[in-house]
Structure formats: structure tokens, C-alpha cells
Chains A and B, each alone.
Chain A
Amino acid sequence: MVSCLKVILVGVDGATSWIIEELLFGLSGFNRLAKDGILCNLKTTLPPLSSCAWASIYTGVKPSRHGMFDFVGVEHDYNVRGLGFVNGLKFPVFWSLLGKFGFKSVVVNPPMVYPAFKVNGVLVSGWPSPRVSVYPDRFRRVLKEVGYKIDVDGLEGRFRKDPDATVDDLVETAKTRGEACLRLAEEVGDWNLLFPVFTVCDRIQHFALGRKEWKKWVLKAYRVVDEFIQQALNLLKEEEGLLFVVSDHGFQPIRKSFLINSWLVKTGFAKLRYSRFRSLIREYIVNNINLRTIYWGASNRRLATLVGKIGSLFLGGAPLHGRFSVNDFILRKTLAFASGTISPTTFIWINDERFKQFAVEKSKKSDIREKIVDGLFKVKDQSGIAIVRDVVEVENLYTGNGKGDMVSPDLMVVANDGYTIDPWYVSSGYVVNPSVYRHGDHSFEGVFAALGPSLNDMKNFNTCGVVDIAPTILSLFKIPIPSWMSGEPLTRINSHSEANLKNRLKLKAKIVEKKLYGC
């Protein structure tokens, strides 16, 4: 199919409207978007995690349907395992649908895509791929020539040692990503969709936000994306087309961390592997030597974990402070535990009959769940401010994406603004200062922007969400919106009336196929 329509979708992990507005003085490209186009908030998914939100952006499907609720899940034997990549989802990504209708895409670094699969065009796998995977493999040469990298690894430690050098490294990595995307587009030639995803804003905001000099570092992140936007807009000068900027979630500064597993221990829902006697000694050490001060004051997670481990060598059992795993609980006496990504949302599993060493019988499950929910709403920080905004019952909602022996979580805990939830650390206190290196975390409002010759195709809208992106792109190419998509197109184009009959039938055939084979 020959079409001169060009759509450039600039994915910017963690880009946030309020941060862009603060930095607008130094961002010419974003300034153009704000002045001549559309620049507004974009509602993300619940939970506001990259894995979950990018999956919704690609498929137009809500998290409860695509099942990618986190990066990791918990198996029957309490093993924490990756939930897999978008490749394993039941729903096709929008660039695959474009390909089926003859449109060519250049997609670079879409998070949670690995390995690169067959596309009409080029696909370079995205973070957190274990290695760079490219389809077709012959384009790997371009990546080598520009010195392409997936990401900068070990950021937490690196940012502590040398923040300026780490920021420069991240910016350089982002530059090569933009360069790779433009070079690939040039080689492919007659592309219809250009879709690079930049992760630099997310990375720098995690460590810079909330610190005095945050603007200095964060501006560098947005500038490198801004430069790409300006170059990309030039590609649309003579063409029919649109440039979009979308992010998977927003960002906010974090004041406190809620150590949810410590709270479960303190309230008796979970039990760590040490005796009452050891607990008394532990409490004495904590109260008198104040390990918490050492932990947070030392400004070093590894040191804190080491201190905790040394303590546990003398006292036996689980670490006193620092990193731990669900296996540090006495599972037969643990009614519930939390796991998942450190973020403003996390998940709780009731240790019921689905697990190997269960402690909760089916008949008592709802009672325990109710008590946990009640207790969570009462959790307050040292200033008396409630930490938990919402607790959502998600049993049977998130069942993983059909891989392995994943057990669906029972509750999703959502923190109020300014708080993050950390299920990976134990401490005598359960509301603590966040790590001095990670003062920024995700929020529910990302960014949506649009500009280009086809701007008139966009309709006026009050709100938009990540699930609207895939249908919007399909509608621009006059492809009917599949019935499985939860979102709505943000265009004026009536996809059903304007799409030609063959396109509509192709899509209907795909729906029939899906019904027949469940794919």
C-alpha cells in the first residue's frame, strides 16, 4: 500500500507536563508544541509503571486485560520472576497492525519488547532487554556505527559516585538513540511510522528530582529529546503527517518511603525468621544504636544491607535492616506479603492455598483481606499524614500474561502523592526517608503533545489516556479500530466510514481469528 502519511511518535519514558512547563525556557521544540500544537496531561495506567503503561500504549488495551501489571510477579513457590515482555501478550501492538495493512514502521527501543520480532520495517528491542535484538538483523550495522546502547546500567551506584558524569553518559546514550532512529529511517526510506522511545528523562528524574540542583540535570535530559523533536519536525515539513510526544507516566518528588513488608510484620500479618528473644535484642539494638540513622544517614543501601547482614549473623534469621526476600518470612506463619516494583503502587498477596506453604484457609481469606485494607488506610507518617490513598481488590483481575506459575495478587496499594512503597526492605520503622539517591518516582499524569501538517485531524478533547494512543495512530492511517481496544481515537477521523471496505474486512477477519483461536 502506498501512502505518503508520516507519523512520528516520540516516546519519552517519564516525561511530565509540569516539569516541561518549568523547563520550557530552554526547550525550543517543546515550546513549538505548546505554542502551535497540543501539549497536555496524559493519564497513565493503574499501576503507573512503564511495563504496564507501555503495553497499554502499544495495544490500546487496559492493564486488566493485557495482564502486564508489573515487571515481576510471584510464583506458587514464592519465586519472584519476570512477567515477560510485550511479545507474549494476547493483543497485537499497533505497529504490527500497521504492517498488516502495508504501512512501514521504524521502531527503536520500545520498552518491554524483546526479542525484536518480524515487522514491516525495522524493530530494535527495548529496555530492559538482556541484549540488543534487531529485526531485520542486517540493520544491526547502523547501531554499531552510532555506538548504540540499550541503557546505562547500575545507575543507583553511579549516580551516587558522580552524578554529573552519569547524567552526561545518559544524555550521550539518548543522543545515539535519536541518531540511530534517524539513520534507520533514512535507510528504510519510505517509512510511515517513526517510533523511538527515550528513557533518559525517567532515569535522571528518579535520581535528580527533589534535589536542590534537579533542574540542571533534568533540563539536560529534556534537551536531548527536544533536539530530536526539532529534527523530526523537519521531516514533516513537506509531508502530510503528525508528530506526537507521549510518555508512559509522569513524575513527582518523593518525601517518604513506606516499607510495606515491615508494616505487615509490625501488625502481625507477616513473621520474619527470628525468635522473640532475638526480636527483643533486635529492638534493643535498633532503639539504642539506632541502625536506622546508620542506614539512612550512611546514604548507602549496600552498606545498610551489610550492617543488617552482620546483625543477622549474630542473631540468626532474616536481616535486621536492608534488602530481604519473601523467603525471609516464616511462611507458615505469614498471612500476607507484598512484592513488586518499588513505586507509588505495590501488590499484596494473601498466603492462601495457591501457595506451597500457605497459612490462610479459603474461609478466612476475606476476613484477613478486610483487616489489611482497614489497617492500611490508618497508616500515617511521622507528621500524621495518611500514606495510603487507595487499596484496590485485584484478585482475578491480574493473572499475569499466561506465563509460568504466576499467582494473581490480591490487593493493589496506592500511595498518596509524595510517597513511594518499597516491598524490598525491612526496617524497625515502616515509614522512612527514601533513599538519598532516589527522590523521584512515578505519578499518574504523563504528557501528550501533537504538532504537524495534519494537526487539523485532531479533535478537541478534555482528557486523554495511554490507551488512546494506538487507536489514534490507526485512525490516522484509516485503519478501523479493533473491538478489543479500550481507548478512543483522538482524531476527527471517523475510522469506520473513511476506512475502505477491504481494511474493515481485514480487521473483521482478525477479530474472527481472535475468537476462533484466542490469539
Chain B
Amino acid sequence: MSEDKVAVYISKDLYEEIKKRVDSSGGEFKSVEEYVEFVLSEIVKEEEEEEFEYSPEEEEKIKERLRGLGYL
């Protein structure tokens, strides 16, 4: 294990289950460790979407566009 990695323990049953998938992955994953790291890193990836609030002017402009089309 390289120095920038730490050990995490999982149940043996889960380990065996993942190992079966690694074996049948056709080489996409070389080890249980690689599989687990891939799945967990996908889960904890940070979403980069920002919260956005419309200003009253923007809200009015949107309504104006809807009125212009005869929707409101």
C-alpha cells in the first residue's frame, strides 16, 4: 500500500461479492481496491452547481416576456 493511502475495513461477504464483479469485469477493474475507490470517489464527487436567486428586475423581465406572448 502506498503512503498516501489508508486502510478501510469492509465485511468479508461484501469483499467476496465485489471480487466476483472484478473478475467478471473483463479487465475494467484490476482489484477490489480499485473498484471500491472508483465507486466511492464517484459518490463523493462535489457538484459544482451554484444556488441562484432571481432579482426582482429579472423576475419582471421574465413576466414581461410571458405577457408579450399573451401567456399572462
Hey, which bits of chain A sit against chain B, CB under 8 A?
71-72, 80-82, 84, 87-88, 115, 117-118, 127-131, 150-151, 153-157, 203, 206, 341-343, 424, 435, 437-438, 500-502, 505-506, 508-510, 512-513, 516, 519
Contacts and interface: CB of A to CB of B under 8 A. Distances in A.
Contacts of B65: 127-128, 130, 150-151, 153
A342 B28 contact: no
Contacts of B54: 82, 84, 130
Contacts of B57: 130
**Top 4 closest A-B pairs, CB basis?**
A509-B42, A130-B61, A128-B65, A130-B58
Interface in B8-60: 21, 25-26, 28-29, 35, 38-39, 42-43, 47-50, 52, 54, 57-59
B62 A342 contact: no
B45 to A, nearest CB: 8
A346 to B, nearest CB: 11
B7 interface: no
21 contacts: A71-B71, A84-B54, A115-B52, A127-B65, A130-B54, A130-B57, A131-B58, A131-B61, A153-B65, A153-B68, A156-B68, A341-B71, A341-B72, A342-B70, A342-B71, A437-B70, A438-B70, A509-B42, A510-B42, A513-B42, A519-B47
A501 B25 contact: yes
Contact of A156 (B39, B48, B70): B70
Contact of A501 (B29, B47, B49, B64): B29
Given A130-B62, A502-B28, A206 B69 contact: yes
A512 B71 CA distance: 40
Contacts of A118: 48-49
B68 A154 contact: yes
Nearest to A513: B43
Given A81-B59, A117-B49, A130-B62, A501 B28 contact: yes
A87 to B, nearest CB: 6
Contact of B62 (A128, A157, A206): A128
Contacts, number: 84
B22 to A, nearest CB: 9
A127 B58 CA distance: 13
A500 B69 contact: no
B52 A87 contact: yes
A443 B63 CA distance: 23
Nearest to A512: B43
B70 A72 contact: no
Nearest to B43: A509
Candidate in B38, B57, B70 with the most chain A CB atoms within 10 angstroms: B70
Nearest to B51: A88
B49 A156 contact: no
Nearest to B44: A513
Given A71-B71, A82-B54, A435-B70, 10 more contacts: A72-B66, A81-B59, A82-B59, A118-B48, A127-B65, A129-B62, A156-B70, A342-B70, A342-B72, A437-B70
Given A502-B28, A512-B43, A128 B38 contact: no
Contacts of A82: 54, 59, 62-63
Nearest to A340: B72
A206 B28 contact: no
Contact of B66 (A71, A157, A501, A516): A71
A501 B52 contact: no
A352 B35 CA distance: 54
Contact of B69 (A150, A156, A505, A516): A156
A501 B70 contact: no
Given A87-B52, A130-B62, A153-B65, A206 B70 contact: yes
Contacts of A80: 72
Contacts of A81: 59
B64 A153 contact: yes
A74 to B, nearest CB: 13
Given A82-B59, A118-B49, A510-B42, A500 B70 contact: no
Contacts of B28: 500-502
A159 to B, nearest CB: 9
B68 to A, nearest CB: 5
Contacts of A153: 64-65, 68
Contacts of A131: 58, 61
A150 B66 CA distance: 13
B34 to A, nearest CB: 11
A497 B45 CA distance: 26
A11 B59 CA distance: 25
Nearest to A500: B28
B38 A502 contact: yes
Contacts of A203: 69
A418 B29 CA distance: 59
A87 B47 CA distance: 13
A437 B50 CA distance: 41
Candidate in B28, B29, B65, B71 with the most chain A CB atoms within 10 angstroms: B71
Contact of A128 (B25, B42, B66, B70): B66
A501 B42 contact: no
